[in-house]
Structure 1
Amino acid sequence: MVADLGLENDVSTGHLRLLVRVARMYHEQGIRQPAIAAELNISQPRVSRLLREAVKRGIVRTVVVLPKSVHTELEERLRHRYGLRDVVVVDTQESTQNVLPALASAAVDYFDATFAGGDVIGISSWSETLLATVERMQPKTSQVADRVMQLVGGVGSPEAQVHATRLVSRLADLTRARPIFVPSPGVVGNASIRDALLQDSAIRGVMSQWNDLTVVLVGIGSLEPSPLLLSSGNAVSQADQEELRALGAVGDVCLHFFDAAGRLVDSGFDQRVVGIDVDAFRSVRRRVGVAGGLRKVSAIKAAVKGGWINILITDLQVAQQLDAD
């Protein structure tokens, strides 16, 4: 943009006129530097110097105009406020009740841009949003991951466990990676069973590889199970929900429930989960949470406050709530 402003008196009017003329030819008329040099009968290096001087003197000012669907200022505020590595805010064109398609598309774009060759990817076993994300992904032409690892055993009914296995398998196929499964239910009857399972050589072999993770992809659950989990035989029973609610739980990541401040809730339920432990999860450098919808605002806010995730992909309404609170 060529500005209309008063200028210093340290240069002649003729020089200022030349600066403005060159700036307007280049920035407003789109004339290339060699053509400007030929028309004004000056050298191309001088044209370059004049353009730099026009910027330095404030004759030319660069203004970034944000498209309506891009919210980088909001993303920056959330990143600084919550200490996040990155934030992606998607403006959903659907009703506020159906943010999943837009979230999934945004997640696909983000993963396409950030997956690097050799990544070891962990993915939560059962997430409606991640399922939609993986369904939208296109196969990679080269290997972008070494392994795709299941983070929690199967959740809910046998049918749901099959879906969880398919989620890991499909992401591994798309990224040309090797799938690694947790050969166990996600939640068992009591802590003794869980402890015994963790001694199994097959499960221990998976657990040791969790230390290799470079990125994890997770949904963020609220205390009330999603319709998908309810229909599939949700593993968090009514009694478990009541216990967790009494302890102040508002949401979960990989079936680890936390309170409004993001602190892990020490519950009997947590002692029955077969999956990645909290310390191993938090040690992963990139922890990407994909979640949205106003019913999950409390859970998402707690997840970012507690450091469960450090990269957030969410919708505009949730982002505005996080910014306003």
Structure 2
Amino acid sequence: MTQDPEHDVTRDHLRLLARVARMYHEQGIRQPEIAAALNLSQPRVSRLLKEAVTRGLVRTVVTLPDGVHTELEEELQRRYGLRDAVVVDVEDFQEDVIPPLATAAAAYLDVTLIGGDVVGLTPWSRTLQATVSRLPQKNARAAERVIQLAGGLGRPEAQVHATRLIARLADLTNARPVFVPLPGVVATSAIREALLQDPDLAEVQAQWHDLTLTLTGIGGLDPAVHGGVPGPADQEELRGLGAVGDVCLHFFDATGKPVASALDRRVIGIDSATFRAVERRVGIAGGLRKLAAIKAAVEGGWVNVLITDLRVARRLCA
């Protein structure tokens, strides 16, 4: 019984594919040396290697190193429609997640700030303060402007610290700082309306429309986070309305929908429509106590780049 010549040719061809693939991938022999050893042209060796992949003889397996969670980051992007996600390893016993989050955020900014960005910043976030302290000095101009997103919160010395933070980030990125020379929350809506007529604030408000990147924390209802804001009466109202967290003093419920409260009419800062129109909105937050706020922030589209810790990321993808 004679063998099918086409079957023999196919089998021989597969044998050649396997031999070339093993020489290249297992033995580390370069393509010119394979060509010389098998008396083949180098272009044919290249074609054979590509065909070996196509036919499934070679399968690429990427083994992630410890502390790298690319699959989880991609799942966060897919599930919540994020532009990007960074997941940081935090030890099980580590209560304070700010240091590793800040280190990761500084690394992200160091890579992605390449010039031309107009950066908005909430200066009262401890995580952002730690991030800026870890950011290396850029030699070239990495941003055009660094703009304060809301007035200062808390005691006067805290507001001075906020101004220094804006100035520091501007200095590190060789950008021009733009400050909000007013408190972030005032006593009444009438005071707010009067202050909004300030020409210096009007100039800042106009520049908020130029923002290409915002850097914010994601807060809960803890007044210690925002220098005493929200106060007891505001907290009670916000809880009654179902608020679980905020971004830049814009509070939202568990689904990420904005919560309208009396506090809104006393805040001096970027409005929600202008904020949400910014192309890249980076939220830096972690810790399971903030899980509800973080989930609501990404579901509601308040941030579209999330930097968080491994425990929170796993819960978000559960």
TM range (shorter): over 0.9
Asked whether the 8 Å contact 1:85–1:310 carries over to 2, the reply is yes
Residue among 18, 24, 27 paired with 1:29: 27
Q: How does 1:153-172 map to 2 (within 5 A)?
A: 153-172=151-170
Shift of 1:65: 1.9
Asked whether the 8 Å contact 2:255–2:300 carries over to 1, the reply is yes
Give the TM-score of the pair, scaled to structure 2.
Answer: 0.94
| Cα distance per residue 1:158-183 (max 9 Å; x no partner) | 11111111111111011100000001
Asked whether the 8 Å contact 1:96–1:293 carries over to 2, the reply is no
The answer as to 2:128 corresponding to 1:102 is no
SS of the residue aligned with 1:313?
A: strand
The answer as to 2:79 corresponding to 1:85 is no
Shift of 1:94: 6.4
The answer as to 2:305 corresponding to 1:305 is no
Structure 2 CA distance for partners of 1:278 and 1:12, relative to 1, 3 Å: closer
| Cα distance per residue 1:97-132 (max 9 Å; x no partner) | 121111111111211222231100001121011111
CA distance in structure 1 between the partners assigned to 2:212 and 2:8 by the alignment: 56
CA distance in structure 2 between the partners assigned to 1:12 and 1:309 by the alignment: 54
Shift of 1:24: 1.1
Match in the other structure for 2:233: 239
Match in the other structure for 1:3: none
One-letter code of the match for 1:74? Answer: L
Match in the other structure for 1:14: 12
Shift of 1:307: 1.2
CA distance in structure 2 between the partners assigned to 1:303 and 1:147 by the alignment: 25
Shift of 1:12: 4.2
Shift of 1:16: 2.6
Q: How does 1:172-321 map to 2 (within 5 A)?
A: 172-226=170-224, 229=226, 233-321=227-315
State percent identity of aligned pairs: 65
CA distance in structure 2 between the partners assigned to 1:66 and 1:236 by the alignment: 43
Give the TM-score of the pair, scaled to structure 1.
Answer: 0.92
CA distance in structure 2 between the partners assigned to 1:323 and 1:91 by the alignment: 16
Deviates more, 1:180-189 or 1:265-274: 265-274
Match in the other structure for 2:3: none
Structure 2 CA distance for partners of 1:10 and 1:82, relative to 1, 3 Å: farther
Asked whether the 8 Å contact 2:99–2:130 carries over to 1, the reply is yes
| Cα distance per residue 1:232-267 (max 9 Å; x no partner) | x42322222222212211111111111112122211
Gaps of 5+ in 1: 1-7
Asked whether the 8 Å contact 1:157–1:234 carries over to 2, the reply is no
CA distance in structure 1 between the partners assigned to 2:56 and 2:113 by the alignment: 40
Aligned pair count? Answer: 313
Residue among 99, 110, 113 paired with 2:111: 113
One-letter code of the match for 1:180? Answer: V
| Cα distance per residue 1:15-59 (max 9 Å; x no partner) | 333222211111111111112222223221221122122112211
Gaps of 5+ in 2: 1-5
CA distance in structure 1 between the partners assigned to 2:281 and 2:8 by the alignment: 55
CA distance in structure 1 between the partners assigned to 2:123 and 2:150 by the alignment: 5
